[in-house]
Amino acid sequence: SEAYPTDGNLGDDAPPEDRLNAHIRAILGTIFDDGRVGNFAKVMFSEFGTPTKEFHEVVHATFHPLKEKMDGIVRSLLGEGATESEVFLCGMSVVNQCMAFAHRRELRRHIVEQEGGGPLNSDILSEHIAEFSLGGMRAVRERIMRSAQGLSEPADMKDLI
């Protein structure tokens, strides 16, 4: 959407951390939009549950370029040794954190404001999702690097901390 550019108007030479944050802001901006853009997103998300024939064409045209962009960002964060599966799983994790806020606006607002300790907007949530995701991808990158060097995995989570 022009209202929420997935590159945040940063350009391809921006650090991948900034590009990830911009991509997340665009997804959440679309989800939280109360206007025409948000209504389109609402229809698209409802189609995921009961897809029509046309839905597959729209998904490919709309979401495939977004997935390619996310994959490029994730690949640059994970490094050259990342497998397609690792790139896919990390990208899917980021998107699904955003998608958690895509359903039932009234319920979302109630949960976010009540359980989240006050009003949370898409900017606050995008910062959190980016920070959380970057931490996870950093751990995946470290595992990839250890594996490439022939080093063993940590015995458990406390060894990572």
Does the pLDDT at position 109 exceed 90?
A: no
Query: Which residues, in sequence order, are CB contacts of 6 under 8 Å at separation 6+?
Result: 22, 23, 26, 27, 66, 69
Predicted confidence at residue 94, as pLDDT, reads: 95
Answer whether residue 133 shows pLDDT above 90.
Answer: yes
Average pLDDT on 56-85 reads 88
Whether the full predicted model's pTM is greater than 0.85, yes or no, is: no
Which of residues 53 and 141 earns the better pLDDT score? Answer: 141
And the tokens for 28? 């959440």
Q: What is the pLDDT of residue 51?
A: 75
pLDDT at 76 over 70: yes
CA 95 to chain centre: 3
pLDDT at site 11? 82
The mean pLDDT of 104-125, rounded to a whole number, is 66
Mean pLDDT of 55-72: 83
